[in-house]
């Protein structure tokens, strides 16, 4: 048996992928994360509201999702203490818009800085730098959109229990509309050459493949190299975050069922700082493909009929989610009623409460979970479970491989292995929080 080790390094930290080979194929794998950061210990013992400032610093690219999960956990404490907490529709819309924009900027960077370079390497070609720079400019437009309402990006703290701390005018909403139009135009011109209404209405793989653009380029390369159906895992999906576009549920193949957070399990390993996460004893995939399968997205289901939870489906649905979210932002901006309050003050301060709270948010890479307990006016404990923990775990049982271990099993090409691994868009800084 041959064992190889490779440092996987892109955008969000690094991890080591250890592969065991027999007869030229991967027979087992381990994913190791090196750095322990101790954010949960840093938060413990502090004022509850401090968490809103500290948790966005878990990550430099999905800090907004961290904030969303935090504010949901703190608001859940009010709910569990039977204290009514009002949040205006305007505040909910603004929260959704800024979270959607953060996911968009991440997906664009993942696509142009990680996936496309690997695919073009397989073709022995280089990607046009002008297209990459154009993508980077559009990703920046998404972060500007966040900052329009949140004040800054990354590491803003504009969501608080009871709403948000911004009060946008028509000018700011107009600026946001201009920025989302830039993102939509980019997708229409570069990724799928059609108008946004046609793009979000695509229901079949055949229809998607009939359009020109980057999406078709990727499909053509994957078909040419016979890798459309590699990277299959357990065909199990789960989504915990819920708002106006994401739905909380699990899907095994195409059958969806309700879920309960009490079945989330976390377990430590002795060779990595990342903890495993399972649901009711099973590994599940989280992220854009999971969200699409749980929501019964017609395109995801159509691709799934032939390719299941493959590399192709994973890459296409993450790419298409850019369009879905951009279109959702455009619609949401038209629904903001600036006469509504942005913040409705809770009847009690968090420091005067005692209890536990769970908060979920859909980050770019999948479901993010925050859990906290307040006692004697301080945070007694804080727990964070990140999407990469779900997707890049390590099995303790050879009969139940993790999501990534199952996806890598049997592969025989290093470029394809790298592509499958990075299709899950790992984030080591989140994972070793």
Token representation of residue 123: 């073709």
Q: How far apart are the first and last CA of the chain?
A: 34
Residue count of the chain, please give it.
Answer: 433
CA–CA distance, 94 with 28 (Å, rounded to integer): 44
Pair 187, 322: CB distance under 8 Å: yes
Burial 264-298 (b: 16+ CB within 10 A, else e): beeeebeebbbbbbbbeeebbbbbbbbbbbbbebe
Phi, psi of 21 (to 5 degrees): -120, 145
- The pLDDT tens digits for 256-288 are 999 999 999 999 999 999 999 999 999 999 999
Provide the pLDDT for residue 45.
97
Q: 401 CB contacts (<8 Å, ≥6 apart)?
A: 234, 283, 395, 409
CA–CA distance, 177 with 255 (Å, rounded to integer): 37
CA–CA distance, 359 with 95 (Å, rounded to integer): 14
What torsion, rounded to 10 degrees, do the Cα atoms 430, 423, 185, 99 define? -30
Token representation of residue 53: 């400032």
> Residue 14 forms beta bridges with which residues?
9
DSSP state of 189: I
Given a cut of 50, the residues of the chain with pLDDT beneath it are: none
Token representation of residue 270: 């002795």
CA–CA distance, 219 with 312 (Å, rounded to integer): 7
CA–CA distance, 236 with 12 (Å, rounded to integer): 25
Cα dihedral sign for 325, 330, 332, 333? positive
Pair 220, 315: CB distance under 8 Å: no
CA–CA distance, 64 with 71 (Å, rounded to integer): 11
For the chain, list the domains and their CATH numbers.
Answer: 40-431 (1.10.645.10)
Burial (Cβ within 10 Å: 0-12, 13-18, ≥19) of residue 74: buried
Give every strand in the sheet of 255-257, ordered side by side: 236-239, 249-252, 255-257
The verdict on whether omega for the bond into residue 201 sits within 30 degrees of 0, i.e. cis, is no
Bin 186: left if φ > 0, else alpha if -120 < ψ < 50, else beta: alpha
Provide the pLDDT for residue 10.
61
Q: Tell whether pTM > 0.85.
A: yes
Question: E-strand spans in 37-99?
Answer: none
């Amino acid at each position: 048996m041959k064992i190889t080790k490779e440092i996987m390094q892109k955008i969000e930290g690094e991890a080591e992928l250890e592969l065991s080979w027999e007869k030229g194929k991967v027979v087992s794998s381990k994913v190791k994360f090196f750095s322990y950061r101790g954010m949960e210990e840093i938060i413990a013992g502090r004022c509850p509201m401090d968490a809103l400032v500290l948790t966005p610093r878990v990550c430099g690219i999905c800090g907004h999702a961290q904030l969303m999960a935090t504010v949901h956990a703190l608001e859940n404490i009010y709910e569990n203490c039977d204290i009514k907490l009002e949040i205006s529709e305007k505040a909910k819309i603004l929260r959704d818009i800024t979270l959607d924009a953060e996911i968009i900027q991440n997906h664009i960077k993942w696509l142009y800085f990680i996936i496309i370079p690997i695919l073009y390497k397989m073709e022995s070609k280089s990607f046009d730098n002008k297209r990459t720079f154009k993508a980077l400019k559009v990703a920046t437009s998404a972060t500007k959109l966040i900052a329009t309402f949140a004040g800054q990006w990354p590491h803003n703290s504009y969501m608080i229990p009871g709403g948000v701390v911004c009060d946008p005018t028509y000018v700011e909403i107009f600026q946001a509309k201009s920025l989302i139009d830039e993102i939509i135009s980019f997708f229409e011109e570069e990724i799928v050459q059609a108008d946004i209404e046609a793009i979000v209405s695509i229901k079949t793989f055949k229809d998607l493949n009939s359009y020109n653009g980057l999406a078709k380029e990727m499909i053509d390369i994957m078909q040419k190299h016979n890798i459309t159906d590699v990277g299959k895992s357990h065909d199990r999906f789960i989504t915990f975050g819920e708002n106006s576009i994401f739905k909380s549920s699990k899907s095994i193949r195409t059958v969806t069922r309700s879920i309960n957070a009490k079945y989330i399990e976390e377990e430590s390993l002795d060779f990595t700082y990342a903890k495993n996460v399972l649901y009711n004893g099973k590994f599940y995939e989280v992220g854009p493909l999971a969200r699409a399968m749980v929501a019964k997205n017609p395109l995801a289901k159509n691709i799934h009929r032939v390719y299941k939870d493959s590399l192709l489906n994973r890459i296409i649905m993450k790419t298409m989610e850019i369009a879905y979210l951009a279109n959702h932002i455009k619609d949401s901006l038209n629904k903001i009623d600036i006469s509504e309050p942005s913040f409705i003050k809770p009847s009690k301060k968090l420091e005067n409460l005692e209890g536990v709270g769970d908060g979920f948010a859909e980050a770019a890479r999948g479901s993010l979970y925050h859990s906290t307990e307040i006692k004697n006016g301080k945070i007694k404990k804080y727990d964070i479970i990140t999407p990469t923990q779900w997707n890049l775990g390590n099995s303790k049982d050879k009969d139940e491989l993790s999501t990534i271990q199952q996806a890598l099993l049997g592969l025989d090409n290093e470029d394809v292995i790298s592509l499958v691994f990075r299709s899950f868009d790992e984030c080591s800084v989140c994972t070793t929080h």
